[in-house]
Amino acid sequence: MLNSYLLEMEDRDLFYNVTQKVNAYKKEHPDESVISLGIGDVSRPVVAPVIEAMHRAVDDLASSATFHGYGAYYGCDFLRQAILDNEYGKYGFTMDEIYVSDGTKSDSTNILELFDINSKILIGNPTYPIYRDGARALSRKTYYGKNDENFKMLIPQEHYDIIYLCSPNNPIGNAYTKEEYEAWIDNALKNNAVLLVDNVYRPFIQSENVPDSIYELPGSKKVAIEFRSFSKQVSFTGVRCSYYVLPDEIAENVNHYWRKRTINRFNGACYVAQRGAEASFAPEAQKLIRENIRYYQENARVLREGFLKAGFSLIGGIDAPYMWVKTKDGMSAWEMFDVFLKEMNIIIIPGVIFGEQGEGHFRISALGNIDLSRQAIERIVKYYEK
């Protein structure tokens, strides 16, 4: 018998309808230049010191003295040590609490294997859709939360065992402040809940009051598992390498059990990717990576100011590379999508793709090319001047 939860899953990538519509439009209008403000992938290349480290790692594989094969189920020690030295050691973690993997897309749902299959799981709405469909693939049911006026999920009245927090947030583009994190931690401690904190957009944080990590806050080690990825910070969306922290304090012997599970379910992340990830922490690489992030932040500024100039209201774009924009004239998200595509030759992502509470909104991304963003803004401002 098949997994019945698979039947409830979307048939295709959620962006499929967008791609279909865009391709049909391009076919009918081959001479139009269509600009995408929808891209969730990075556009800056991998920086040179990281590329060089990966070249050296490939060479390691060519000699039996330096060859790397099976064995590093939780990640190579050199990378886990670098993660501790640069990011998590300051919160008092040890290497046994750090796991290296092949992407937060899989990590954020695979972690559910740590918990009882009947755990009640709360996710945002709108949300990064993988939390829902990834949970379904593992035969788990999720429930949607409610939001405040800034689309931040409200602390629920009922009990949930597992709560996904995405901060900085995709698709909304905002992030939890210190006080908001404190309230979630307090609630989780009282209700014996676990917070799964997706922190992949951390490098984009600019606001003073937005913590870099939930572990900056007291009590968090008892309730929070935090996920990070090299995807956005090192442009590793195609290379694949991620990491997460499972604090010893979550439950007695938790890392003993999770190591057991990991040995049986995962053969480790790619050695070449891990050498590249390690090299990304070196000062020269960090300097170049910061330049890439600043490029996206500048792109976000251009888009934010442009959309505001054209009379839209929006949130996000300061602490994350996404902005969440309200449609105009009471249009639905898909109606607005059509106006952008057909009238301005611009692709936006309808908010409903991320959950039905995203109706009446759309997402734009600052991960693309800044010159194209400027051209898009010119078109948008001109169109709404009419």
CB of 94 to ligand PLP, least distance (A): 23
Residue 171, beta-bridge partner list: none
Q: Is 200 in the site for ligand PLP (CB under 6 A)?
A: yes
CB of 358 to ligand PLP, least distance (A): 14
> How far is it, in rounded angstroms, from Cα 280 to Cα 228?
14
What are 363's two structure tokens?
Answer: 């997402």
Among 13-21, 47-55, 103-111, 279-287, which window interacts with ligand PLP (CB under 6 A)? Answer: 103-111
CB 351 within 8 Å of CB 360: yes
Q: Is 213 in the site for ligand PLP (CB under 6 A)?
A: no
Q: Is 137 in the site for ligand PLP (CB under 6 A)?
A: no
Counted residue by residue, the chain has a size of: 386
C-beta of 103 vs 368, nearer to ligand PLP: 103
Q: Is 104 in the site for ligand PLP (CB under 6 A)?
A: yes
Q: Is 180 in the site for ligand PLP (CB under 6 A)?
A: no
CB of 351 to ligand PLP, least distance (A): 15
CB of 349 to ligand PLP, least distance (A): 12
> How far is it, in rounded angstroms, from Cα 6 to Cα 134?
10
Residues 6+ apart with CB under 8 A from 77: 95
CB of 109 to ligand PLP, least distance (A): 10
CB of 382 to ligand PLP, least distance (A): 31
Q: Is 128 in the site for ligand PLP (CB under 6 A)?
A: yes
> How far is it, in rounded angstroms, from Cα 244 to Cα 225?
7
* Candidate list 83, 166, 210, 224; residue touching ligand PLP; CB under 6 A: 166
CB 121 within 8 Å of CB 112: yes
Among 43-51, 97-105, 311-319, 358-366, which window interacts with ligand PLP (CB under 6 A)? Answer: 97-105
Q: Is 65 exposed, middle or buried (0-12, 13-18, 19+ CB in 10 A)?
A: exposed
* Candidate list 105, 132, 152, 379; residue touching ligand PLP; CB under 6 A: 105
CB of 307 to ligand PLP, least distance (A): 21
Closest CA to 278 of 92, 56, 118, 117: 56
Q: Is 40 in the site for ligand PLP (CB under 6 A)?
A: yes
Euclidean distance between the first and the last CA atom of the chain, given in angstroms as a whole number: 59
Closest CA to 260 of 81, 80, 73: 73
Q: Is 336 in the site for ligand PLP (CB under 6 A)?
A: no
C-beta of 200 vs 225, nearer to ligand PLP: 200
Closest CA to 176 of 135, 148, 218: 148
Query: Strands, E, within 258-377: which ranges?
Result: 314-316, 322-326, 346-347, 349-350, 361-365
Task: Give me the torsion for CA of 62, 283, 42, 84, rounded to 10°.
Answer: 80
Query: How many residues interact with ligand PLP (rule CB under 6 A)?
Result: 13
φ, ψ of residue 77 in degrees (nearest 5):
-60, -35
> How far is it, in rounded angstroms, from Cα 236 to Cα 101?
12
Residue 107, beta-bridge partner list: none
* Candidate list 97, 180, 198, 319; residue touching ligand PLP; CB under 6 A: 198
C-beta of 131 vs 215, nearer to ligand PLP: 131
Q: Is 103 in the site for ligand PLP (CB under 6 A)?
A: yes
CB of 232 to ligand PLP, least distance (A): 7
C-beta of 12 vs 382, nearer to ligand PLP: 12
> How far is it, in rounded angstroms, from Cα 381 to Cα 323?
17
C-beta of 84 vs 200, nearer to ligand PLP: 200
Q: Is 109 in the site for ligand PLP (CB under 6 A)?
A: no
CB 320 within 8 Å of CB 174: yes
Site string for ligand PLP, 228-247 (x = CB under 6 A): -x-x-----x----x-----
For ligand PLP, the binding residues (CB under 6 A) are 40, 103-105, 128, 166, 170, 198, 200, 229, 231, 237, 242
